[in-house]
Each structure stands twice: as C-alpha cells, then as structure tokens.
Chains A and B, each alone.
Chain A
Amino acid sequence: MSEKALKRLVRWISESWMMFAFFACFFLLWEWSIDWFEVPKYILNKPSEIITNSAADLPRLMQYTYITGLETVLGFLVAISLAIPIGVAITFSNILRKTLYPFLVSVEMVPKIAFAPLFISWLGFGLLPKVIIVFLVCFFPIVLNAILAFGSLSQELDRFSQITGSSKIKIFLKIRIPFALPQCFVGIKYAAINATVGAAIAEFIGSDQGLGFYIQIVTGNMRPDLAFAGIFLLTLLGLGLFGIVTLVERLMIPWHISQRRG
C-alpha cells in the first residue's frame, strides 16, 4: 500500500470511527435487551440468532434475492431507457409538452403502488407484473428530471451553439447531453432508491417467490428472525443498485461539482 493510500485510510478511520462505534452499540444494545426484557422469540430475535438461523436457509434466500434483484434491475433499466428519450421528446416538442407532459405530471400524483393488485390480476404471479410495478415507480422521477435537465440549457450556451452554425444533432451530442447528465442522475438515483420498494410490495401482493414473498411467509410462520434476514438482503439489493449508479455517475460526470473531491 502506498503511503498516500495509507494516509487516506488513516484519515478515513479517524473521521468515521464514531459512526461504526454507533452501529456496534446499536446492535449490542439490541442483542442485550432481548434477554433483559425477555422478548419472546416469535416477536423479535437477537442479531446473533438472526445470523445463525438465516444461514440455515441460505440457499432459498440466495435464490429469492436473485429473483427480486432481477425484477428490480429489469424494471429500473426499462424505466431509464424509456424515460430519458421521452423526456427529451417532451423538451423539444411543443405538442408533447402540451399533451403528454401535463398527463405525466397528473399520473405522477397517483401512488403507483396502488396499481399493483390490478397488474397482478391482469398478468398473473410471474415476473412481468413485478417488472411493470418497478418500472412505474422508477419511470416518473427519471422522466421529470430529464425534462428539467434538457430544458434548462443556459441562454449563453444556447446562443454560443447557434453562432457556430452547427447542426442541431451535433449541438445535442456535444452540448445538450453533457449539460443534462447531472440532473438526469438526480432522477436516476431517486429511482434506484425506490426500485426495491416497488419490487417488494409487488411481491407482497401476489407472488410465489422473491424476498417480498419470503418476508410475508416467514412472518406468518412467526419467524421474525428470517424476516429480518429478508429485510437485510432487500437493503443490500437497494444499496448495491444505488452504489452502481453512483459509480457510473462518477465515471460519466467526474467534472461535476457533486463529484469533486475536497
């Protein structure tokens, strides 16, 4: 390890040890209070029990994590690949801005999760209705931020582009897209945070596999320990997705003020 990296590590530890200490205290307190208050096992378990008991059910948990992960990622990717072009189209089309845009804003007000039972009754227990629910949850923040992103080019840059006599397509590629990326990522990150929520709720409503299904079943069986394992894996899924988006963001817009390191 280079000296610089070592220094960075030391600084990181000195800055964040309190956070880790707090986490540790939280779990220790949890562990200890289960015994102290004599909490029954069917209500809540110690963290240590959650770990050992869920290890026994690991194969099923892994399989379900894969399924929920697949639903989440598919819905999320479809949302990005539709929302960005639609956002661009709305920005540059007067007709769409007067028709589709107000429509989308109104639909945004509807809690998308409320559609979940309908989609399940229309499309069954399979993968597709979950992907659609995740898509619905992710689509709106991305499209609304894309409209904001592509519509807010500064007057100076717009005029500068016009003076070059360049084609619209070239200006789009060289000016408008890079200018819009930071705001697009705001929407994409918001969607990434909510994607797993969509998948889990869709599975609660009608499913025969996946982490949402698992949490519901084990809770019915009075196994809060396994429910916590499911919640933990869902959290990891969400964190993983958010982490990947953050990484892609850092690679694509390293120049942006949000990405600069002190």
Chain B
Amino acid sequence: MTTAIQIQGVSKVFSTDDGPLVAFGPADLDIQEGEFVSLLGPSGCGKSTLLMMLAGLEKPSSGQIFLNQTPVHSPRNDIGVMFQESTLVPWRTVLGNIELQLELRGERSENFREQIDSLLNSVSLKGMEQRMPHELSGGMQQRAALCQALIHQPQTLLLDEPLGKLDAMTRENIRGDLQRLWLDKKPTVVMVTHSIEEAVQMSTRVYLISPRPGKIDKVVDIEMDYPRNLAVKQDQRFIQYLADIHSVFHSYGVL
C-alpha cells in the first residue's frame, strides 16, 4: 500500500486580539491509499480546519502536507469534497448540479452519462434528475451532493460532517450508501465527524482529537469486516469500541 496523505508537523494558529490562538496541532499522520479514516472530536477542536488544510483551502501555520506524493500549496483539484453546507446551486436541477462539477472541470457531461446514471442509482435518486434542490428532502439533497462530489471519480474524498444536519434515520441510510460507494471504488476517504457511532461504523481507522487546541491524541484501528450494516451495532466488538472511545472523551471532560 502506498501513502495517500502525509501530514508532517502541521498546525494552524489564528491571530486574535488576545494574541495567537492554536486551533490545531501540531500533528503528524499518514493515511494509506484506500483507507476510510475518521477525524473524531468535539466541535471546535479544529478537525474541519485540518480537512480544509488537506484540500489546500487553508494554509497550515507550520508543517507540510503531501497528497498523492505532491505537496499541498493551493486548492487541489484531484480530490472530491463534501462540505457541511450543501454545494447544490438552487438554479440547477439535480442532474445540472452534478454536471456543474464536470463543466467547471472542463469535462463534457455527455461522456459521463453512464457514471451519472449509476451514481444516482446507487443513492436511490433515479428519476429525480430533473428535480430542483428545493423540491428534495434534506437527505435527498445530501445524496445529490454526494453524487456531485464523486462524479469526477476522485481518488481522494474529503467529507466535512456531510451528514451533520440530517435526522438520525436518514443519516443511517446515507451511511449505507456511502459505505457501498467506498467499497466499490476504494478511494481514500477522510471524514470529519462528531458521532462516535458513525466513525466506528464507517472507518478502518479513527483518529481521536482532543479539544482546544486540537491534537491527534489516540488512534483506534477498527478491525471489523465490511460491509458494516445495522446488525454490526449488536456486535460485541462494536460495542467495545464505542465504550473505549467514550471513555477517552470522558477523560477530556467532553462527555
């Protein structure tokens, strides 16, 4: 396996009126190709900041990041990103929004008909192509956004709490979709989340981030087989992982 993402001594410091504020780091970590990694921590711990630094959308105050063996200096286009807020534009249909990603990348959307079809199928949005975003439920919108983030078939996928705003049942559902898509194409995924359960269910490896300043404190390898569906939650190992991670956050005083 080759290393997809290398983070070396990366930190983010914001200057405030009360002097510099360390938002994150310093941190070192390597992520292997095809892994599904979660950055798990309480809100405000800088995990989203780390993700944005991986994407090249924010500059680290110190340290270096390598993505697919090349250093990250500016926004990277060899990745797919799903943001906390929807990036569906209200003036385009579901299909038009997926095509927007292709058009902005200078691709001809006619060459992607099959990929679009199979993506929409895999997230049960078939027949919704011509709907406008506001006509969809929150869950359907995030499914469409997932298609938008994946249509150019990125080898690296960054997810910034993509399911954060959804109700519990819809989250459960889309987790399944996301896992299937990952197992199918095996891109490297880095997901930011504050749900312990979500992190354990989805990830090969979970990085626990301590609050203020955010530091990668513990690493938990989740050694369970995929696919991990609802039944996995009854599994004794699953329950043990949850309990272990719970106690770590309890010791931070977060839980």
Contact = CB atoms under 8 A, between A and B. Distances in A.
B83 A255 contact: no
B104 A170 contact: yes
A217 interface: no
A155 B87 CA distance: 10
Q: Which of A157, A159, A160 has the most CB of B within 10 A?
A: A160
Contacts of A157: 87, 89
Interface string A157-178: 1011111111000110011001
Contact of A160 (B76, B83, B103): B83
B101 interface: yes
Given A178-B89, A256-B90, A160 B105 contact: no
B interface: dominant SS: loop
Interface in B57-78: 57, 75-77
A165 B105 contact: yes
B86 interface: yes
A162 B87 CA distance: 12
Given A159-B57, A164-B105, A174-B104, A154 B91 contact: no
Contacts of A175: 89, 104
A163 B85 CA distance: 15
B91 A255 contact: yes
Contact of A161 (B52, B85, B104): B104
Contacts of A255: 90-92, 132, 134
Which range holds the interface residue count of chain A? 20 to 34
Contacts of B89: 157, 175, 178-179
B79 A163 contact: yes
B91 A162 contact: no
B86 A165 contact: no
B76 to A, nearest CB: 7
Contacts of B90: 255-257
Contacts of B104: 161, 164, 166, 170-171, 174-175
A7 to B, nearest CB: 23
A156 interface: yes
Contacts of A171: 104
Interface residues of B, number: 26
Nearest to A260: B134
B81 A163 contact: yes
B75 A163 contact: yes
Given A163-B57, A166-B106, A156 B87 contact: yes
B100 interface: yes
Interface string A177-192: 0110000000000000
Interface in A129-147: none
A175 B134 CA distance: 17
A168 B62 CA distance: 29
A253 interface: yes
A160 B83 CA distance: 8
B115 interface: no
B91 A159 contact: no
Contacts of A160: 81, 83, 87
Contacts of A178: 89, 91
Nearest to B79: A163
Interface string A57-83: 000000000000000000000000000
Nearest to A166: B104
A166 B101 CA distance: 10
11 contacts: A155-B85, A156-B87, A159-B52, A159-B83, A161-B104, A163-B77, A164-B101, A253-B91, A255-B132, A256-B90, A260-B134
B39 interface: no
